[in-house]
Chain A
């Protein structure tokens, strides 16, 4: 007689079609051309990336596109040691918030090519792009960010500027 049943695996899944919409579409088409597009809020003047078509803080529509640099400052981060189901990224890896130069909100991406004990808030980083022939309508055109040989940025100063805008 075999063991009694005590556990069952019950996967639940949802298949759907994502349609980008106006602002996200501009952002994704920009990536296809190797550009990172944000939008400036006409009221608070903060630059939001990815463009969402509206300022989350002011609630007003945004239509002024701003092309951002592919360099920035890493603020918060997590070192992930547990594999993420369905993800090709092998742990340990660094998931980070990166304030691109010219942007006033963090973008989530990976940081690689740095030893884990050297990771710190305020690090300067630069996008590592895939070869251009592999670019699609996706933020994965940037494989990850790598450290830039520049002095660290004072993250509290960055936070203060955004909080008071």
Chain B
């Protein structure tokens, strides 16, 4: 029978840090490409399904019916939190390096939830149904991070 022969105990096990990275370039396709182009211009666009629902972010096909989607429509830059999850300890690759919420946000004029970060400061400031508004990045370049995050909407007057 084999006897495990451990390393002599006089030194720590050898270890080293590694980073594995792939620098993918992806084709956006016509629908996501147009969405990202809109973000660069600080505009959020969705797409209308044949049944009249507005999907944000837009998709080439209606996930319910599989039918091709039709016209692009601009939606609001503010909306309602449908559901959320508080991140007390952000990870290095998260969009915010302070506690924040991931939230599904139904933008004004949209029929679907849009996943993004909400910079609410504290968990007590988060609630389902609260209104939030886009905070744009200082520089937009046609990427999802053009939306820096959402923040609680102080202007509750908007219907």
Q: Which residues of A line the B interface, CB within 8 A?
A: 2, 4-22, 24-26, 28-29, 60-61, 63, 85-86, 137
Q: Does B44 touch A at the CB level, under 8 Å?
A: no
Q: Does B158 touch A at the CB level, under 8 Å?
A: no
A12:B33 contact, CB within 8 angstroms = no
B13-69, CB < 8 A from A: 13-28, 33-34, 36-37, 40
Known A5-B28, A17-B18; judge A11-B23 contact (CB<8 A): yes
A18:B15 contact, CB within 8 angstroms = yes
B28:A137 contact, CB within 8 angstroms = no
A10:B20 contact, CB within 8 angstroms = no
Contact sample, A vs B, 24 pairs, CB 8 Å cutoff: A2-B40, A4-B34, A5-B33, A5-B40, A6-B33, A7-B28, A8-B26, A8-B142, A9-B25, A12-B21, A12-B22, A12-B24, A16-B18, A17-B16, A18-B15, A18-B16, A19-B13, A22-B6, A25-B14, A26-B7, A28-B14, A29-B14, A61-B2, A85-B23
B21:A11 contact, CB within 8 angstroms = yes
Shortest CB distance B141–A (Å): 9
Contact residues on B (Cβ < 8 Å of other chain), bracket:
20 to 34
Shortest CB distance A68–B (Å): 20
Chain B residues with CB under 8 Å of A61's CB are: 2
Known A7-B28, A8-B143; judge A22-B7 contact (CB<8 A): yes
Contact digits for B130-150, partner A, Cβ 8 Å, 1 yes 0 no = 000000000000110000000
Chain A contact residues: over half helix, strand or loop, or mixed? Answer: mixed
Known A6-B27, A86-B21; judge A19-B36 contact (CB<8 A): no
Shortest CB distance A13–B (Å): 4
Chain B residues with CB under 8 Å of A15's CB are: 17-19
Partner of A16, one of B20, B27, B28, B33: B20
